[in-house]
Structure 1
Amino acid sequence: MARPTPLSTDEITEGLRGLPAWALADGAIRRTVTAPSFLAGIELVRRVAAVAEEMDHHPDIDIRWRRVTFALSTHDAGGITVLDLEQARAIDGLAAALTASDDA
């Protein structure tokens, strides 16, 4: 399967309009999620890891107590691609589901 090509700055900006929690920084799109507990943050990482394996597209992840930061770029394409925007949407859904299940 051919990897997608890097998006232009305008395409990235347009893609981020639907992803308000994400920002372009240092050659990647980034989002930090504050989980309700350390274990909830670890569970979010586990769920994201499962999606990453399915997509064969793996984010950079930084865990600092309850704060989990995701950085997405397609390293072998040399920039941000549609895969990164797709994975960002998946991470948003997982983060929302985790927060909703914790509120229940």
Structure 2
Amino acid sequence: MTEKLSEATRGPLLDPLFQSGWALVEGRDAIAKTFSFTSFVDAFGWMTKVAIWAEKWNHHPEWSNVYNRVDVLLTTHDVNGLSALDAKLARKMDKLA
């Protein structure tokens, strides 16, 4: 079962993400980032690649797409906050971008 990140694990898992543009969401135990692409097709293609991993890991982002921009919010609803799955999916998103 997935567990909410402890204080001890938050820094090692989240600090590298903050260096790549992720940020904590005010008022919610979540992280967010905006990805920009050269076109709608590139943005949608990236979302499709991410969706395959999200489905494989059974961990789905909250996101929206407007033309070449994708706004992403990650949190684990089952634990009402951040889990290792969020960090894992964020790293995958960065790699695929």
Match of 2:16 in 1: 18
The offset of 1:68, in angstroms, is 0.3
Q: Which structure 1 segments of 5+ residues have no match?
A: 96-104
The CA RMSD measured in Å over matched residues stands at 1.4
Answer whether contact 2:29 2:80 (CA < 8 A) is retained: no
The offset of 1:73, in angstroms, is 0.6
With structure 1 as the length reference, what TM-score do the two structures score? 0.81
The alignment partner of 1:18 has SS state of helix
The offset of 1:9, in angstroms, is 5.0
Structure 2: which amino acid aligns with 1:14?
P
- Aligned match of 2:92 in 90, 93, 100? 90
4+ aligned runs moved over 3 Å, structure 1: 8-11
CA gap of 1:24–1:13, structure 2 versus 1, over 3 A, is farther
- Aligned match of 1:8 in 6, 9, 31? 6
The offset of 1:61, in angstroms, is 1.0
Work out the CA distance in 2 between the residues paired with 1:32 and 1:9.
26
The offset of 1:10, in angstroms, is 5.7
Match of 1:102 in 2: none
Structure 2: which amino acid aligns with 1:35?
F
Question: Residues 16-95 of structure 1: matches in 2 within 5 Å?
Answer: 16-19=14-17, 20=19, 21-25=21-25, 26-95=28-97
Match of 1:99 in 2: none
Structure 2: which amino acid aligns with 1:51?
W
Q: Which structure 2 segments of 5+ residues have no match?
A: none
Q: Deviations over 1:35-68 (max 9, x none)?
A: 1111100001101100001101100111121110
Structure 2: which amino acid aligns with 1:16?
L
The alignment partner of 2:14 has SS state of helix
